[in-house]
Amino acid sequence: MNNHKMEEGSGESAVSAGGFSKISKTTKILILVLVVTIIALGTAMYFMSKRLDELKTNPQKVGQEELESTLEMVGKIMVLPVNEQPTLATVTDLAPLKDQPFFANAKIGDKVLLYTASRKAILYDPVANKIVEVAPINLN
């Protein structure tokens, strides 16, 4: 009878010592995925915060970077006017543009490069990496 109680006691201590090994493989994988997701979200939030701070302190720099990036992509597709710095605009609302033929195929997020000296407007879709429309502009 005394031996029986010792066996029960030793069995209980083995369970509590190996508690982590009793967790199912699926649960371990879920915990790992959760930890990796939390780390990834934290990293993304850190870099977004840095970018937002940069935008607040120097919006011209961010705008210049966006212009340079757009010019690089469009310049690979078509020949751009030289010796002229274009104005860059982003399509954010299609409603006021619906009656203008130039914007007939525009989507939110498309970029417009305006070359005033060359009198040229270029509508560019950065997602599809395609020129949507090119038209002369009338400044009168």
How large is the average pLDDT for residues 44-58?
A: 84
Q: Is residue 126 part of a domain?
A: yes
Q: What pLDDT sits at residue 80?
A: 94
- The answer for residues whose C-beta is within 8 angstroms of residue 112's C-beta and 6 or more apart is 88, 89, 90, 91, 121, 122, 123, 124
Closest CA to 120 of 100, 136, 101, 138: 136
Query: Does residue 49 sit in the same domain as residue 71?
Result: no
Q: Is residue 62 part of a domain?
A: no
Q: Which of 34, 57, 80 is the last residue of a domain?
A: 57
The answer to whether residues 113 and 70 touch, using CB atoms and an 8 Å cutoff, is yes
Q: For the chain, how many structural domains are there in total?
A: 2
Q: What pLDDT sits at residue 20?
A: 64
Q: Is residue 101 part of a domain?
A: yes
How large is the average pLDDT for residues 70-89?
A: 93
- Residue 101: give the domain boundaries: 67-136
Q: What pLDDT sits at residue 34?
A: 96
Q: Is residue 49 part of a domain?
A: yes
State pTM to two decimals: 0.58
pLDDT tier, 69 (very low <50, low <70, confident <90, very high otherwise): very high
Better pLDDT: 10 or 88: 88
